[in-house]
Amino acid sequence: MAEGDKIAGPINALLNSFELVVATRDWHPPDHGSFEGVDVDPKKWRGADPPSIWPVHCVQGTPGAELYPALEQAKVDVVIDKGQDPNSQGYSGFQDTRLGDLLRDRRVDRLFVTGLATDYCVKNTVLDARRLGFGVTVLEDAVRGVDVRPGDSDRALEEMERAGAAVSSSKEILKAKTPA
Ligand SMILES: [Zn+2]
């Protein structure tokens, strides 16, 4: 995806400003149904997007599934693996993971969301977070989209806002968090 690496800087700049930093990562089995060339039983497939639409990516236990090296991983408190069900895209960080329980246990009321991709995993994670009752702020300089159709990322941000998410930027957050 274009400029996906550009978000590491803004994310790193934010890491000291939050009590809990959670990273989600795709952790797909090698035969994951989202991958091109993988045969999927349509009766078993769950989810809105069709199967077999993405290049092979983020296969469990391979370097492609690791967190991006430029990210300051020592400041990540918890890593959540997602997308392990071969019969679902697994876009949302909440889908079939312990993320919801973790955030409730830690009494989190607002999430500040960064990452890839705006129009798929970020969008679905944010919409699930809203359904679960969390406040959400999306940091638009710390997300990037695929934009299969031009404008997909902008439309995704609008959809997140309609669901009650706020849109801000890493600079705004850092300004607000720095004591005057
Ligand atoms: Zn994936």
SS (H, E, C) 28-89: ECCCCCCECCCCCCCCCCECCCCCCCECCCCECCCHHHCCCCCCCHHHCCEEEEECCCCCEC
For residue 26, how far is its CA from the centre of ligand 1 (angstroms)?
5
Separation in Å, CA 160 to CA 49, 141, 149: 18, 15, 18
For residue 28, how far is its CA from the centre of ligand 1 (angstroms)?
7
For residue 179, how far is its CA from the centre of ligand 1 (angstroms)?
39
Q: What is the pLDDT of residue 180?
A: 62
Measure CA of the first residue to CA of the last residue in the chain; give whole Å.
38
pLDDT tens-place string over residues 160-171: 999 999 999 999
For residue 83, how far is its CA from the centre of ligand 1 (angstroms)?
6
Sequential DSSP letters for 143-173: EE---SSTTHHHHHHHHHHHTT-EEE-HHHH
Q: What is the pLDDT of residue 130?
A: 98
> What is the mean pLDDT of the segment spanning 85-113?
97
For residue 33, how far is its CA from the centre of ligand 1 (angstroms)?
10
For residue 58, how far is its CA from the centre of ligand 1 (angstroms)?
7
For residue 88, how far is its CA from the centre of ligand 1 (angstroms)?
9
User: 2 falls in which pLDDT band (50, 70, 90)?
Assistant: confident
Cα(95)–Cα(88) distance, integer angstroms: 10
> pTM of the entire structure?
0.96
Residue 48 predicted with pLDDT over 90 = no
For residue 180, how far is its CA from the centre of ligand 1 (angstroms)?
41
For residue 76, how far is its CA from the centre of ligand 1 (angstroms)?
21
C-beta atoms surrounding 179 within 10 Å = 3
pLDDT tens-place string over residues 122-137: 999 999 999 999 999 9
Closest alpha carbon to 165 in 91, 111, 101:
111
For residue 178, how far is its CA from the centre of ligand 1 (angstroms)?
35
Q: In degrees rounded to 5, what are phi and psi of residue 129? A: -60, -40
Cα(35)–Cα(30) distance, integer angstroms: 9
Share of the chain above pLDDT 70, in %: 98
Mean pLDDT of the chain: 96
